[in-house]
Amino acid sequence: MIESERDARPGSRTFVLSPNASLSGRQASYLMLGIALAMAIIAGGFALMGAWLVLPFSGAEWILLAYCFKLRLRSCRIREVITITETSVQLERGYGAPEQIYRFQRAWVALDWAESPIKGHPSRLSFRSHGKEIEIGRFLAEPERAVLASELRKILFDSK
């Protein structure tokens, strides 16, 4: 998902990039509770028939599933904020708060958009300057990445 806003200063713009996340944390909690209930009923039925060993394995399976959900939900919280001003391009990346900040001089930054040589693999969009290359929008869908590349190209290179 791409959100953009123009700043009051001419030639300045901010983009906020985030992955498409259709499942909220609350919905995931309800889903995990439902799955736990269904697994408990099934494992309890087997335990009543004498297969009591199903209970610990069912619990371990649910814990593994909950851990995987937690990892997936965390990866959906990543945000990338691209701020373009008259003199600089700044990329902030993090989960909830900026953890990595990259700054480039606008006059020297290059925007690379390389399509994958393998059909069906995602393209790669990155900023490059002075031997440093930072990939942006890795989590975006292919059409969103194309729109972002077009918008960035317009802002960075048409106004020079």
- Kindly report, residue by residue over 25-80, the tens digit of the pLDDT: 889 999 999 999 999 999 999 999 999 999 999 999 999 999 999 998 888 889 99
160, two tokens: 């020079």
Instruction: Report which of residues 7 and 35 the model is more confident about.
Output: 35
pLDDT score of 116: 81
40, two tokens: 């408990």
Query: Quick one: 84 and 143 in the same domain?
Result: yes
Which of residues 76, 94, 116 is at a domain's end?
Answer: 76
pLDDT of 13 higher than 90:
no
What residues make up the domain containing 105? 2-21+79-158
59, two tokens: 């619990």
Query: Quick one: 93 and 137 in the same domain?
Result: yes
Q: Which residues pair with 136 in a beta bridge?
A: 125
| Residue with tokens 């292919």, as numbered in its chain | 142
pLDDT score of 159: 60
Which of residues 60, 76, 92 is at a domain's end?
Answer: 76
CATH value at residue 120: 2.30.29
Model confidence at 103, in pLDDT bands (50, 70, 90)? very high
Query: Quick one: 115 and 72 in the same domain?
Result: no
Cα torsion angle, 147, 12, 110, 94, sign: negative
Question: Is the pTM value of this prediction over 0.85?
Answer: no
Q: What is the DSSP letter of 49?
A: T
How many domains would you assign to the chain?
2
Instruction: Provide φ and ψ at 121, rounded to 5°.
Output: -85, 150
Query: Quick one: 67 and 7 in the same domain?
Result: no
